Chains A and B, each alone.
Chain A
């Protein structure tokens, strides 16, 4: 049963400033409970804004650090989940359910990637 890392990408500049509505938080909470009860959810969390993040780069044999916000990226990772599902189709179905908990004014891309085992 493969594991999948889902990276939730949002456009920080155009995301609703007030963050998730209470109704959205409630719907999301109910869905996470359902995914957990199904024995599928292994871990999930939202991330603080990129203004609090730092990129550490190794290039040309040197370390360099860039503090956020990462304005040059249109979309940044706002959260992630790790689930264990029978196959990719099942992982995609859960992902769609997660996206559907959001109001229409959200634009989100969820990138579903299988975790290489071994």
Chain B
């Protein structure tokens, strides 16, 4: 047995990853700019990498980093003040944010509010969805631009630029570092939830590329949802989103076969569903509300509760999709409801609903429409038509793994089950 202690550099990096969001948030409150705040946090990391190998890792490494970054932030604000004063002396005014007073420096231990402000700022609607996702993963998920690039299958420089531009946009728009109150609050919270949901989904149903699923991204999103639920325990829809993601994540291991091929919900080995995540989902669902994420979580719970596929309560799922349609009307939700109805009442009932959607322009090019229709046709014995639909679905999907599965079903053979993962 060798006695090892990870190298100091490894320790410093681990400490920094744990603390970076909190430090960035605590510093952003002082400098009122998340871009500058992140740089100051990085500066503190560099200082630690220089000093700790000599001086040893401090007793409270997080507090050391925070204090270092805050000192630098206060210095910077003072320098700005001095600069503004000097400029004013030579008779020019400066459009600058008012320097923070001592009351703005806040209690270093009370960082939760700052973290929440950081989340709301990173998810501000002034930014594009891609920019929100990249910035949130960078500032709150602690991902490097390289990790984000790999997760979203884009180049590293593209992500770096996206992040830089997002910070600039926030600064230019003068987005205040705050959690909005009043009428604005709900819309802004939706924007935060949407970012986390989209990041999870990008990992869960990879829209392109060779892998069906990129679990790392799902876990990053799940962690963000867990953080948010702890920061906003009184928001039912936050718990709804958390419940939904815990349930979805519980199935990840069972969704791909040994060769990386997709395994349909009906065929999944349910003993591989993660019980701990299902329990966590059920716990979060108890605190959920009546909004769209909460309803989707309730649907996911129906699947999780079924020990065998045959035990699935499709009538309950169809009813929940009906409720979801009232909250967020969309052809995609209608398609899902059609699948549930076909399981509850028979394939003909489902087919009637799907055929009504065939003309829906939004679904043109959406591979799941022909995929579902093919499945229903196969179940009523219209095999030839079913295979044509599977061929069409295969030509529409951008995911290589899904295409293989669809082409296999387009070949003359007995048909499989519903297309939900």
Chain A residues at the B interface, C-beta cutoff of 8 Å:
1, 36-40, 42-43, 82, 84, 86-87, 89-90, 92-94, 100, 117-118
The 5 closest A-B pairs by CB, nearest first: A39-B226, A89-B14, A1-B219, A39-B223, A39-B227
Write out the residue numbers on chain B whose beta carbons fall within 8 Å of the beta carbon of A84. Answer: 219, 223
**Is the CB–CB distance between A86 and B17 below 8 Å?**
yes
Q: Indicate if the CB atoms of B253 and A117 lie closer than 8 Å.
A: yes
Question: When the two chains form their complex, are residues A94 and B6 in contact, meaning their CB atoms are under 8 A apart?
Answer: no
A90 x B18 contact (CB < 8 A): yes
Closest B residue, CB atoms, query A2: B219
Closest to A91 in B: B14
Q: Given A1-B219, A1-B220, A86-B142, check contact A92 B6 (CB 8 Å).
A: yes
Query: B230 touching A37 by the CB < 8 A rule?
Result: yes
Asked if B96 is at the interface (CB within 8 A of a chain A CB), the reply is no
Chain B 262-283 residues near chain A, CB threshold 8 A: 276, 280
Known pairs A42-B280, A89-B14. 5 more at Cβ < 8 A? A36-B230, A37-B227, A38-B18, A42-B276, A82-B276
Q: CB < 8 Å: which of A1, A82, A94, A100 contacts B223?
A: A1
- Judge whether B112 and A37 touch: CB under 8 Å: yes
The answer to whether A93 and B253 touch (CB under 8 A), given A1-B223, A39-B224, A100-B59, is: no
Residues on A with C-beta less than 8 A from B17 are: 86, 90
- By a CB distance below 8 angstroms, the chain A residues around B216 are 1
Give Cα A8–Cα B284 distance, bound, in whole angstroms.
28
Q: Specify which chain A residues have a CB less than 8 angstroms from the CB of B225 in the assembled complex.
A: 39
Q: Mark B195-231, 1 if CB is under 8 A from A, else 0.
A: 0000000000000000000001001101111110011
| A37 to B232 CA separation, bound complex (whole angstroms) | 11
Residue of A nearest to B22 (CB): A38
Interface string of B7-19 (1 = CB under 8 A from A): 0001101110110
B216 closest partner in A (C-beta): A1
Q: How far is the CB of A36 from chain B (nearest CB, A)?
A: 6
CA distance A37 to B142 in the complex (A): 15
The answer on a CB contact under 8 Å between B230 and A92 is no
Q: Please tell me if the beta carbons of B253 and A118 are within 8 angstroms of each other in the complex.
A: yes
* A89-B223 in contact (CB<8A): no
Say yes or no: B219 contacts A89, CB within 8 Å. no
B140: shortest Cβ distance to chain A, in Å?
Answer: 10
* Assembled-state Cα–Cα distance A87/B16 (Å): 13
Jot down 28 A-B pairs with beta carbons below 8 A, ordered by A. A1-B223, A37-B230, A37-B231, A38-B227, A39-B223, A39-B226, A39-B227, A40-B223, A42-B276, A42-B280, A43-B276, A84-B219, A86-B17, A86-B142, A87-B14, A89-B6, A89-B10, A89-B13, A89-B14, A90-B14, A90-B17, A92-B6, A93-B14, A93-B15, A93-B18, A93-B61, A100-B59, A118-B253
Nearest chain B CB to A28 CB, angstrom units: 16
CB distance from B193 to the nearest CB of A (A): 15
Separation of A53 and B92 alpha carbons in the complex (Å): 78
Task: Return the chain A residue nearest B147 by Cβ.
Answer: A86
The smallest beta-carbon distance between A101 and chain B, in angstroms, is 12
Most buried by A among B142, B223, B225: B223
State in angstroms the CA–CA spacing of A100 and B14 once bound together. 17
CA distance A38 to B10 in the complex (A): 20
Report the bound CA distance from A84 to B11 in whole Å: 17
Residues on A with beta carbons closer than 8 Å to the beta carbon of B226: 39
CA distance A82 to B231 in the complex (A): 21
Interface-centre pick from B220, B226, B280 (highest chain A CB count, 10 A): B226
List A contacts of B224 (CB < 8 A). 39
Cβ contact within 8 Å between B14 and A92: yes
Q: Which residues of A contact B227 (CB under 8 A)?
A: 37-39
